[in-house]
């Protein structure tokens, strides 16, 4: 067993980072900015003044990764296709269309800039997706200018993006990834994991029913279910943990205990999500920023032209019950799943350190910009 002396630095680091992030988040809100900007800035400060922080102590990065798994597990639980098809039918074709535009047009652009085909595919999918956490924060902000119908459209749009994006990512990583498995074996493994997740999802409600009034046990089973399935998908089937966590959430999203499970993991998700945004800021190496700026601007320009503008156009064409400008601006950021995909591409040497840093800069800038721009204009009443 590790001694207190060995574990104390980790506790100190986690506590210090959370305290700094909370302080920066509070300061950001006081000047009218979203708290997430404070979290990102905390990471930048850590990166600038303690450059060996993560290299020496990567446990905080591990906690952030757990947060992403729980986040996407909860997003999978949240996805209700029946409700979306009933209330926002345009999302069923609008989101796949927007994402297809991003991937089909973005991939050749990245290839033209000298990036490998696999890296270009991953990066184009990165810019086609948005941040579910940021969009949730946008819809809860007291300073928002969005109406109720637009907020529902934003949430539905991000959930559909996650569903389509996970499907795209699974195919890309299976066919073009660095795994030594054949495409047939990899695809078979994906289906095998989905089958295991479905079987587990049939067992979980029975367990939760038995401990429904034992709130501590209910919480433990809820959190451990997502983590165990996500880790199983990675260890046995070589599926990225965040992607596996999303699939695990999808398998139980029709359970009668869905709402209770989601409420149980929300405090954990929110806490770890703060660490995630701090880690994003931490990974932006100050020495790389000057060389990464051109690529970051390219990513941002492509995000606007291949995601935000098509989203506005689709909202107008389909006559969605939402304000097109706010919908387009609300999804105009890249976030947690894009970070996961970018990290996979970097780990597999499909993109360079400069390009990875540029992607991280684009994540930070787009999150900050979208949360500020979506406040523009007067809040309108939801149309009937």
Mean pLDDT lowest for which of 92-101, 191-200, 243-252, 323-332?
Answer: 243-252
Q: Nearest to residue 249, comparing CAs of 343, 159, 351?
A: 159
Relative orientation angle of helices 353-373 and 35-49, to the nearest 10 degrees: 150
Question: What local confidence, expressed as pLDDT, does residue 99 receive?
Answer: 93
**Structure tokens belonging to residue 179:** 């795994």
Nearest-Å Rg of the Cα atoms of the chain is: 20
Q: What is the pTM of this model?
A: 0.80
Q: What DSSP string runs through 249-303?
A: HHHTTTSTTHHHHHHHHHHHHHHHHHHHHHHHHHHS-HHHHHHHHHHHHHHHHHH
Question: Mind listing the pLDDT tens digit for each residue in 252-288?
Answer: 665 666 677 777 777 766 777 787 788 788 778 778 8
Q: How far apart are CA 54 and CA 111, in angstroms?
A: 32
Residue with tokens 């927007």: 98
Q: Identify the top-confidence range among 18-27, 70-79, 257-266, 301-310.
A: 301-310
**Structure tokens belonging to residue 67:** 């947060």
Mean pLDDT lowest for which of 161-165, 200-204, 363-367?
Answer: 200-204
Residue with tokens 């994991």: 193
140 Cβ contact list (under 8 Å, min separation 6): none
Residue with tokens 């492509």: 302
Q: 133 in helix, strand or coil?
A: helix
Asked whether 276 and 67 are in contact (CB, 8 A), the reply is yes
The CATH number fitting domain 4-373, selected from 1.20.1250.20, 3.90.1150.10, 1.20.1530.20, 3.40.50.1010: 1.20.1530.20
- H or E stretch covering 1: none
**Structure tokens belonging to residue 41:** 């800035």
> Is 311's pLDDT higher than 70?
yes
Indicate the burial class of 37 (C-beta count within 10 angstroms; 0-12, 13-18, 19 or more): buried
Residues 142-181 as b/e (b if ≥16 CB within 10 A, e otherwise) read eebbbbebbbbbbbbbbbbbbbbbbebbbebbbebbebee
Question: What local confidence, expressed as pLDDT, does residue 44 receive?
Answer: 81
Indicate the burial class of 382 (C-beta count within 10 angstroms; 0-12, 13-18, 19 or more): middle
């Amino acid at each position: 067993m590790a001694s207190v002396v060995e574990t104390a630095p980790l506790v100190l680091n986690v506590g210090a980072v959370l305290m700094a992030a909370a302080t920066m988040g509070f300061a950001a809100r006081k000047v009218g900015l979203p708290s997430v900007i404070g979290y990102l800035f905390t990471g930048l400060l850590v990166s600038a003044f303690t450059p060996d922080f993560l290299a020496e102590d990567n446990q905080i990065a591990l906690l952030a990764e757990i947060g992403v798994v729980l986040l996407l597990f909860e997003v999978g639980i949240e996805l209700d296709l029946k409700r979306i098809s009933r209330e926002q039918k345009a999302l069923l074709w609008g989101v796949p269309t927007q994402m297809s535009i991003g991937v089909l047009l973005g991939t050749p652009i990245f290839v033209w800039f000298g990036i490998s085909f696999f890296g270009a595919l991953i990066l184009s999918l990165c810019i086609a997706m948005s941040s579910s956490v940021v969009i949730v924060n946008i819809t809860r902000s007291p300073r928002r200018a969005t109406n109720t119908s637009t907020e529902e459209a934003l949430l539905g749009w991000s959930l559909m993006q996650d569903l389509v994006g996970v499907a795209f990512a699974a195919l890309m990583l299976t066919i073009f990834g660095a795994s030594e498995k054949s495409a047939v074996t990899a695809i078979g493994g994906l289906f095998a994991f989905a089958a295991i997740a479905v079987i587990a999802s049939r067992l979980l409600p029975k367990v939760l029913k038995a401990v429904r009034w034992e709130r501590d046990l209910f919480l433990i089973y809820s959190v451990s279910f997502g983590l165990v399935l996500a880790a199983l998908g990675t260890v046995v089937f070589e599926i990225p943990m965040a992607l596996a966590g999303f699939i695990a959430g999808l398998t139980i999203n029709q359970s009668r205990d869905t709402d209770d499970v989601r409420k149980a993991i929300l405090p954990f998700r929110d806490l770890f999500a703060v660490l995630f945004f701090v880690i994003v800021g931490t990974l932006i190496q100050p020495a790389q920023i000057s060389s990464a700026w051109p690529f970051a601007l390219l990513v941002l320009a492509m995000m606007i032209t291949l995601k935000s503008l098509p989203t506005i156009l689709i909202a107008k064409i389909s006559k969605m019950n939402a304000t097109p400008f706010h919908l387009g601006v609300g999804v105009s950021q890249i976030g947690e799943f894009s970070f996961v995909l970018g990290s996979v591409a970097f780990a597999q040497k499909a993109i360079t350190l400069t390009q990875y840093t540029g992607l991280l800069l684009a994540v930070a800038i787009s999150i900050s910009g979208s949360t500020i721009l979506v406040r523009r204009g007067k809040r309108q009443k939801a149309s009937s």
